[in-house]
Structure 1
């Protein structure tokens, strides 16, 4: 359903009444409360997929959570919703290799579903949303859920047919276009024991909460005043700081400690995210809607009136129509000079366990294709073989058919059709290169936490790019770090302290998988050394290293 790109026709924020209707509808669907931020901004995205079908996707704080084909039909969860609510909908557990078939557009065939006492079959009707998780036998973990679909038969019908045939029509799967529309990321992993016991404690707490609410209702009905909770007592003792004060403190802290003049001109939205929000104290949340400004642009207009002189100038962007940029900053402003830090976060903190990084194991294989099947009769199409295994099999074939001719090989009709070499003989190196070229290059990635990924055609790469910004200033763009399991916050802190320069990261960049890191100046030499020495990443998995500044002899 979302394997091919879709077109967004409309993206509008929902009113509170519409959001409540959506949450009530979801509660009726799953008959339980969801682990979902109901105070977040809910938006309805109307889109048309590649086949011309229209549907609605509901996002919360720009993260896709639910989707539907009509307002009267089923409401389906996304993988992002299921990662926070793994058992909100019925979940079928399958063998891990099944995921690759679903990613290629196949529906779920019932023989791939695990049926055992460990993974019991949930009860569900025909035509209802069903989630699919995957069990990796090598690591003993359950990953996901990573696919969403509609049941083509009930659970009783699946048992009656002996788990044969097509069981679930897959609508949405990990790494499809709907996943790319959100913050991306990887599915969580659980041990088998924690997967089977997941949600039991939550159910008990929900029952206690319902009993507490019923007790409150009974007390209110007989006129007993409700007892103040612990949070209410704390609120009476410690008054909460006005949101306007928190906004002003974070603005001045970001301007003083996170902003430099060489960043000019800087997009206003980028300034708000990277400078203001980054200074919010731990445990606090800055909500612009709870201020009387309502919009950050209004705050910027009024902040200049607080002192005798202006502090920040906002001008229209010359590159992007309708956007504003920070044009200039008055660092001599009295409000700026008199500001002193209290609990604002002026420097990003790196996680304590940054030295415990374990690089993923990346193994290179070749997948057997239709033309090469005749060379490997004991294998099937799509099976993975290493270069060593291929050479052993080809050597055995050459010896059995007496095709060896010194350092060359005589080509029989089978080898001629596979390699497409026109001569009668070929050197061993040319023969193996031709056979590899007729197979599909594949890379198997396994992370330290047990997650596995099979990637075809192109290997995982850390890609470096150099771009010129305003004033002919060079910046280094780094893509692909998330594929290697590298924590973005940690490596940004390491680069920032290592070369004493500004480092930022941003997620929603077109054509980039995962977050993109932006470093002021050409810092490729330092980052390459950091990846090799601290993270154990082989240089063959790096692209664009030739763009580094040439070292003087």
Structure 2
């Protein structure tokens, strides 16, 4: 439905009476009070998709929350609404690899739906809205919901058909054009226990309306008591206020013009988070912005003059950089420091630094798919899991011969080994060589990224400059969550030499650090001892000066 770009015909802000009508209509549909920013501006966007279908999209604070067709009475949620309100609409849970098929335009087939005590099939009506979440067996986490569609059967009909056939017509999915129309956030993840706990009150209320009314009455009395007690407590500062204070403090006291252009993620971690007062914690998910990019956009829109501009990163697809800052902005000039940290404390030692977690996987490819019958193409497997699958394959066909394995036609075709048998190490090496190496990186602040083919690495280079002087170039430090200014200070004081950083170098991901002289020995040792980075994630250490015996 939104796989290809659509044409916006009209975008109209709605009156408060229209807003109330929409919220009342939604409350009748989901039978609960949804978590919505009711003070945000509601707008109706009339558009036509690539198939010529006319529809209405309702946005709140410029984030698409619902959509509907002119000829139907259903109000469908967007993935942005479902991320804030999981289980307010019926939700089916599928295995994570199913998402790639839905993104390519396929409808949901019922055999792909998980049916268990933890993920029961909800009550569905034919033609009604339904959302789809995804469970990862590798991490044990549930993400989403990341797809929305129209149920093609009722839940009773699904059971009668033994859960076979097409179950849901997919209308909207994560990373489609409707998602692009919003702030482009990532789906939230939670544990299975947290997922099961979502919406329990709603399910119990649907079983007995009378009990629900009594519980609501009791709840109102308890709520009134809580309000009385809350009045006696000192109110805590809203998370939005803390974010604004740290943003302005970081912009005014930690950011300089020569850092432009600067990656948005680095600006957030090195300028904004660095200003958080002692004893406080900034949680972006507890603000109504949810994403830092949304905060930057709304900050510019709410003021008479812009304060910061963001542009796409030309060196890295999908990333943004801070391209320009308006230092004459009134909000910027009038800001005064209270308890924000505008000066760095002493460098943290090894115990205090939280190194990113790097997990190595291999993605299943077509040539090796016969060895992994229960895995779909692209599914990530750890080395231990690959070994289990191969061992099961060998044992089922009685191919084991002591420390060697006899090669049947399948193994011979995959490994390209010409002999009749081979040792386990050679077979595993050849199988992994025909899979896609993938690295999952998770930083201490919760950010995650997946890299394929090339692992994250700190790269050392030695170059000759004017007067045949040697300099050490260091690339890739930001990928490991290292504060560039802090490590520059550590190198400068450690080897008593000049250190500088460049924030925009062609062909380099993130900032580049330049150190006078060949200092690879000292820097590599510091990265290992202080920042807990393994040597396998360093490249170019052989360029260090050879120690004399």
Normalising by the smaller structure, the TM-score range is 0.5 to 0.7
CA shift, 1:155, in A, is: 0.9
Cα deviation code 1:447-482 (max 9, x no counterpart) = 799x9x998x944754999xxxxxxxx998988x5x
Matches within 5 A, 1:144-223: 144-176=144-176, 178-179=178-179, 182-192=183-193, 194-200=194-200, 211=217
Distance across 2 between alignment mates of 1:265 and 1:447:
25
- Tell me whether 1:441 sits opposite 2:441 in the alignment: no
Match of 2:305 in 1: 297
Residue in structure 2 matching 1:342, options 324, 338, 342 = 338
Distance across 2 between alignment mates of 1:48 and 1:464:
48
Distance across 2 between alignment mates of 1:393 and 1:184:
41
The question of whether the paired residues in 2 share the 8 Å contact of 1:442 and 1:454 is answered with no
Aligned CA distance change for structure 1 residues 132 and 62 (closer, same or farther; 3 Å): same
Q: TM-score, normalised by structure 1?
A: 0.55
SS in 1 for 2:487: helix
CA shift, 1:150, in A, is: 1.3
CA shift, 1:67, in A, is: 3.4
The question of whether the paired residues in 1 share the 8 Å contact of 2:46 and 2:54 is answered with yes
The question of whether the paired residues in 2 share the 8 Å contact of 1:258 and 1:275 is answered with yes
The question of whether the paired residues in 2 share the 8 Å contact of 1:266 and 1:325 is answered with no
Match of 1:37 in 2: 37
Cα deviation code 1:321-347 (max 9, x no counterpart) = xx99657779xxxx97x9863244646
The question of whether the paired residues in 2 share the 8 Å contact of 1:265 and 1:328 is answered with no
Match of 1:6 in 2: 5
Aligned CA distance change for structure 1 residues 182 and 497 (closer, same or farther; 3 Å): same
- Tell me whether 1:258 sits opposite 2:259 in the alignment: no
Aligned CA distance change for structure 1 residues 46 and 517 (closer, same or farther; 3 Å): farther
Distance across 1 between alignment mates of 2:272 and 2:139:
42
The question of whether the paired residues in 2 share the 8 Å contact of 1:133 and 1:142 is answered with yes
Matches within 5 A, 1:43-122: 53=53, 55-70=55-70, 73-122=73-122
SS in 2 for 1:65: strand
Match of 1:497 in 2: 486
The question of whether the paired residues in 2 share the 8 Å contact of 1:57 and 1:66 is answered with yes
SS in 1 for 2:305: helix
CA shift, 1:75, in A, is: 2.6
The question of whether the paired residues in 1 share the 8 Å contact of 2:246 and 2:340 is answered with yes
User: How many residues get paired?
Assistant: 460
Aligned CA distance change for structure 1 residues 125 and 441 (closer, same or farther; 3 Å): same
SS in 2 for 1:297: coil
Match of 2:360 in 1: 362
Match of 2:493 in 1: none
SS in 2 for 1:87: coil
CA shift, 1:125, in A, is: 0.8
CA shift, 1:173, in A, is: 3.5
Q: Which moved more, 1:198-207 or 1:356-365?
A: 198-207
CA shift, 1:120, in A, is: 3.0
SS in 1 for 2:357: coil
The question of whether the paired residues in 1 share the 8 Å contact of 2:488 and 2:513 is answered with no
Distance across 2 between alignment mates of 1:251 and 1:74:
41
Distance across 1 between alignment mates of 2:116 and 2:335:
64
Distance across 1 between alignment mates of 2:7 and 2:60:
16
SS in 1 for 2:168: strand
Matches within 5 A, 1:478-517: 491=481, 494-499=483-488
Aligned CA distance change for structure 1 residues 255 and 176 (closer, same or farther; 3 Å): closer
The question of whether the paired residues in 1 share the 8 Å contact of 2:89 and 2:129 is answered with yes
Distance across 2 between alignment mates of 1:348 and 1:8:
49
- Tell me whether 1:24 sits opposite 2:13 in the alignment: no
The question of whether the paired residues in 1 share the 8 Å contact of 2:357 and 2:442 is answered with yes
Match of 1:131 in 2: 131
Aligned CA distance change for structure 1 residues 391 and 40 (closer, same or farther; 3 Å): same
Cα deviation code 1:259-318 (max 9, x no counterpart) = 435357999xx9999989997987999999x99x962429x9xxxxxxxxxxxxx99x9x
Aligned CA distance change for structure 1 residues 551 and 262 (closer, same or farther; 3 Å): farther
RMSD, matched Cα: 7.0
Aligned CA distance change for structure 1 residues 234 and 444 (closer, same or farther; 3 Å): same
Match of 1:470 in 2: none
Give ranges in structure 1 of 5+ residues lacking alignment: 216-225, 301-313, 318-322, 401-411, 466-473, 506-515
Give ranges in structure 2 of 5+ residues lacking alignment: 206-210, 290-294, 312-321, 401-407, 460-472, 490-498
Cα deviation code 1:176-232 (max 9, x no counterpart) = 55556534334322334x4333233588999689648999xxxxxxxxxx9996599
